[in-house]
């Protein structure tokens, strides 16, 4: 049962609909999926229905933007209670900050001399949790740059004309919120800028899992994070982090959680449902 537990749709900064994601997953033979859009669960219902039609196991998920020890840390929450009692208000705050940030980026780029209708650009973003990729795609659509990666490099990185810093809650706070909604808290793609010290520190603060398998993790990093997961009693997860037709094309099928890893993940979820330690079965 190969699984992809890290996927993004057009409900955040991906380009695929949940239906497209599930269709592609079915063609690849994937048997379990989690939609982990940034700071929103808007795609859950559609994703669940599409998975049911294809006979694919669906796991509700989300990717939360947080900060720990001065580092930007992305936290994956899995198997959350659908009512989101603890996260609901926090997600509204997340989305408001995201919308404000994108508005400021577009206005700054307009002031920088970008020839576009700022209001039209903003109204064209049909998403409650927008981010820099939406602005990057608008720059491509208006012929300012030829590719999304060029937009980031020239306009949207720190120190560039469209850069606006983000405000994030603490990772430990969001781990507690995920747990309050009966979910499993997993550190996403640690190889993308999360220090070893932060991994160890967060493991001591209730982190349940570590995304070992990721498109950006070379074999040496996979080996390293498998060691971390074993040592600190964390569930090893994995996924492609597919955002659709951007960043070099679809990533689905390039990185998956192996069958044995998914069975451990599923058993850990079962343990949490029965009030046991999520990692009781792992070591």
- Tell me the CATH number for domain 3-85+168-207+238-273: 3.20.20.140
pLDDT for 10-51, tens place per residue? 999 999 999 999 999 999 999 899 999 999 999 999 999 999
The domain over range 91-156 is classified in CATH as 1.10.110 = no
The domain limits of the chain are 3-85+168-207+238-273, 91-156
pLDDT at residue 270, as a whole number: 62
Please tell me if the domain spanning 3-85+168-207+238-273 has the same topology as the one spanning 91-156. no
Rg (CA), the chain: 18
Q: Average pLDDT of 139-144?
A: 95
Q: pTM value?
A: 0.89
pLDDT (tens digit per residue) in 70-114: 999 999 999 998 889 999 999 999 999 999 999 999 999 999 999
């Amino acid at each position: 049962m190969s699984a992809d537990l890290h996927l993004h749709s057009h409900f955040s900064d991906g380009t695929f609909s949940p239906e497209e994601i599930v269709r592609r997953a079915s063609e690849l033979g994937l048997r379990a999926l989690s939609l982990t859009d940034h700071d929103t669960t808007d795609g859950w219902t559609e994703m669940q229905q599409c998975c049911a039609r294809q006979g694919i196991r669906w796991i509700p998920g989300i990717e939360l933007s947080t900060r720990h020890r001065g580092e930007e840390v992305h936290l994956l929450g899995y198997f959350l209670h659908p009512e989101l009692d603890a996260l609901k208000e926090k997600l509204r705050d997340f989305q408001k900050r995201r919308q404000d940030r994108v508005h400021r980026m577009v206005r700054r780029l307009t002031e920088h001399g970008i020839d576009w209708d700022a209001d039209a650009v903003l109204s064209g973003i049909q998403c409650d949790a927008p981010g820099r990729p939406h602005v990057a795609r608008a720059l491509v659509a208006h012929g300012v740059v030829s590719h999304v990666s060029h937009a980031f490099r020239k306009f949207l990185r720190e120190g560039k004309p469209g850069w606006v810093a983000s405000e994030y809650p603490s990772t430990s706070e969001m781990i507690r919120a995920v747990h309050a909604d009966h979910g499993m808290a997993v550190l996403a793609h640690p190889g993308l800028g999360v220090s070893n010290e932060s991994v160890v520190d967060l493991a001591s603060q209730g982190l349940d899992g570590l995304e070992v398998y990721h498109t950006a993790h070379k074999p040496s990093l996979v080996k390293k994070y498998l060691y971390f997961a074993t040592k600190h009693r964390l569930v090893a997860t994995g996924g492609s982090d597919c955002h659709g037709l951007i960043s070099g094309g679809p990533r689905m099928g390039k990185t998956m959680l192996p069958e044995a890893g998914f069975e451990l993940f599923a058993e850990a979820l079962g343990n949490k449902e029965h009030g046991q330690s999520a990692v009781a079965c792992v070591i």
